[in-house]
A = this chain, B = another copy of it.
Amino acid sequence: MIAVDWGTSNLRAYRLDRHGEVRDQVASANGITKVAPGGFPAALLDAAGPWLRDGERHVLLCGMVGSRQGWVEAPYLPCPASPADIAAALIEVPFAEAQVKLIPGLSARDSAGTPEVMRGEETKLIGLMAPLNGDGLVCMPGSHTKWARLAGGRIAGFATYFTGEAFAALRDATILGRMMTGAAIDPEGFRRGVARSGDAGHLLHHLFGVRTLGLFGELTEAASAGFLSGLLIGHEVRAAMPPAGTVRLAGDAALIGLYAAAITQCGGTAQMPALDAAAAGLALIGEQAQWN
């Protein structure tokens, strides 16, 4: 089987054997924003042509390729969802050279009824389910960080935090960024920001302190981007993690390092699997799918 994690900016294709092991893989910057309308079949041939010519007849896709801007729009499947639920909801994609199926994204509602969505992360969650024995709390850092609960072998629900994009906007488009030299995250500044997130007072008050600490010479320019990052991630972790919780992290290595530091500092335990969660999830869902 060919499996493709096809996101906004990047594409990673795998050739899996019948046991779901990765035999070969390719990565490219051909994310969906770089594919012209009607260009998805050619882009897939470009990524996986040799494997198709070698006889592979099943292709499973996940990620933003199933969004309105992608190849075919797949409606969101509501949580809770098991691997079998997801495998039963795959979308068929017209393609001459092989049978192509698409994994739908998931939706959820928070306790107040506000909707939540993910596309691509559901596949990583399925990949993480086996090593977690079907239960646990998973954090997937990014511009829009996802916190998901796995329970009884299903994705029970999830919540998204706007932390990464809020950090970038506050650094790049407010007075706070004017006192930041460079974009590097200073570890000591980050640690102080995480500590600050535990003080009394709302985030909107804590943000102004980034400026006043600088004005009073109590925070250096080199440390202040790290302080802002730690402040925001600390607020997120304290809100999303139960006291002394255990959190399984998956995603970008640099971001995972920051989240692991914040989780530990806030009294939790961070676990970082060595697993390629997307490949594992694609293999598991592909195994349960109905192929011709």
A110 and B165 contacting across the interface, CB-CB below 8 Å: no
Does A185 sit at the interface, judged by CB under 8 A? no
Give A211-222 as 1s and 0s: 1 = Cβ < 8 Å from B's Cβ atoms.
011011010000
A207 touches B110 (CB 8 A): no
By a CB distance below 8 angstroms, the chain B residues around A213 are 114-115
Contact A112 B196 (CB under 8 A): yes
A162 and B115 contacting across the interface, CB-CB below 8 Å: no
Cβ-based interface call for A203 (8 A): yes
Chain B residues, CB < 8 A from A235:
202-204
**Is A174 an interface position by the 8 A CB rule?**
yes
Given A209-B115, A213-B114: A173 touches B162 (CB 8 Å cut-off):
no
Instruction: Give the secondary structure class of A's interface.
Output: helix
- Tell which of A202, A213, A240 has the most Cβ of chain B within 10 Å: A202
Q: Tell me how far the C-beta of A268 lies from the nearest C-beta in chain B, rounded to whole angstroms.
A: 16
Q: How far is the CB of A215 from chain B (nearest CB, A)?
A: 7
B199 and A162 contact, CB distance less than 8 A: no
A204 touches B112 (CB 8 A): no
Contacts of A45 in B (CB 8 A): none
Asked if residues A162 and B114 are in contact (CB atoms below 8 Å), the reply is: no
Q: Which of A218-255 contact B (CB under 8 A)?
A: 218, 232, 235-236, 239-240
What 0/1 readout, one digit per residue, does chain A (151-189) give for beta carbons within 8 Å of chain B?
000000001111101101110111110000000000000
Chain B residues lying within 8 Å of A162, measured Cβ to Cβ, are 174, 176, 204-205, 207-208
Contact of A173 among B144, B172, B176, B207 (CB under 8 A): B172
Most chain B beta-carbon contacts within 10 A, residue among A162, A173, A209, A239: A162
**A residues neighboring B (CB under 8 Å):** 110-112, 114-117, 144, 159-163, 165-166, 168-170, 172-176, 196, 199-209, 212-213, 215-216, 218, 232, 235-236, 239-240
What are the nearest 3 A-B pairs in CB distance?
A202-B239, A162-B207, A112-B199
